[in-house]
């Protein structure tokens, strides 16, 4: 049974912020570092994946929808992303069997939000075994913790493309702490400059300005994502 698990989601190829998060003492000391998808799609995919691979068996990888995109990466990196599972379940002290996924346990593109209605949550969690009482997901880049019919649902937020507040967002799970949402602050000027200097993407400067300077609030993101969680439909359906 694991004592401490750090969760990093939606890194999106932002190597400098990933380095800062991995340098956090509670991340360095974690038994496992779970990576819940959308790891490389961003300005620095190759060195980001190399750094994650260097974590060895401490890192537990889960597939995200952006990991299926046509990315400028090496064949060995492509093969690794293609082989990733949709979900992983770990036994964590104090939480028990905990399921990790990118968007939902049944689909890596579905949208569920902190204010999604209970019927929607029940539908997207319908494939989860009864023994699992904690679910950790990413995808929407907004950190939250909420109960769903006695199950705890956690979104650690995004390391590389934060919505709501600046910084690299992640979570720490384990006994004593239970679930903690954490945030690693960074110098936006320095991070943006490094991304532009090291990325081969001609759009890197615009990308960095848009996503690394806290341009989007949680209210902006909820307004944009809200229609995709089926809240306006009379019957819940998987939007795929």
Q: What pLDDT is attached to residue 233?
A: 67
**Residue pointed to by tokens 């929808």:** 65
> Is 239 a domain residue?
no
> Is 58 a domain residue?
yes
> Is 64 a domain residue?
yes
> Is 140 a domain residue?
yes
Q: What pLDDT is attached to residue 238?
A: 42
Residue 96's domain comprises 5-229
CATH number at residue 52: 3.60.21.10
Question: Tens digits of per-residue pLDDT, 69-102?
Answer: 999 999 999 999 999 999 999 999 999 999 999 9
> Is 237 a domain residue?
no
Q: What pLDDT is attached to residue 240?
A: 33
Q: What pLDDT is attached to residue 235?
A: 42
**Cα separation of 162 and 156, whole Å?**
10
Mean pLDDT for each consecutive 10-residue tract of the chain (240 residues)? Answer: 97 98 98 98 98 98 98 98 98 97 98 96 96 97 96 98 95 94 97 98 97 92 93 51
Q: What pLDDT is attached to residue 126?
A: 96
> Is 20 a domain residue?
yes
63-96 burial by CB neighbour count: b if 16+ within 10 A, else e?
Answer: bbbbbeeebebeeebeebbeebebbbbbebebbe
Q: What pLDDT is attached to residue 231?
A: 87
Q: What pLDDT is attached to residue 122?
A: 96
**Cα separation of 87 and 107, whole Å?**
10
> Is 145 a domain residue?
yes
Number of domains in the chain: 1
> Is 235 a domain residue?
no
**Residue pointed to by tokens 């997207």:** 124
């Amino acid at each position: 049974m694991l004592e401490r698990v750090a969760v990093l989601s939606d890194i999106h190829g932002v190597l400098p912020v990933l380095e800062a998060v991995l340098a956090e003492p509670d991340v360095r000391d974690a038994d496992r570092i779970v990576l819940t998808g959308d790891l490389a799609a961003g300005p620095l995919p190759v060195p980001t994946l190399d750094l994650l691979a260097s974590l060895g068996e401490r890192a537990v990888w889960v597939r995200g929808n952006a990991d299926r995109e046509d990315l400028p990466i090496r064949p060995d990196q492509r093969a690794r992303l293609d082989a990733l599972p949709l979900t992983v379940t770990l036994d964590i002290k104090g939480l028990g069997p905990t399921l990790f996924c990118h968007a939902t346990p049944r689909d890596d593109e579905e949208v569920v939000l902190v204010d999604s209605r209970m019927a929607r949550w029940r539908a997207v969690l319908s494939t989860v075994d009864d023994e699992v009482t904690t679910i950790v997901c990413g995808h929407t880049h907004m950190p939250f913790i909420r109960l769903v019919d006695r199950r705890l649902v956690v979104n650690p937020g995004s390391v590389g493309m934060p919505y709501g507040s600046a910084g690299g967002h992640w979570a720490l799970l384990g006994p004593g702490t239970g679930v903690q949402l954490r945030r690693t602050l960074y110098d936006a000027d320095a991070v943006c400059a490094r991304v532009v200097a090291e990325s081969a993407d001609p759009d890197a400067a615009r990308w960095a300005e848009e996503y690394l300077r806290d341009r989007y609030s949680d209210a902006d993101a909820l307004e944009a994502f809200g229609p995709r969680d089926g809240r306006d439909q009379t019957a819940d359906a998987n939007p795929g």
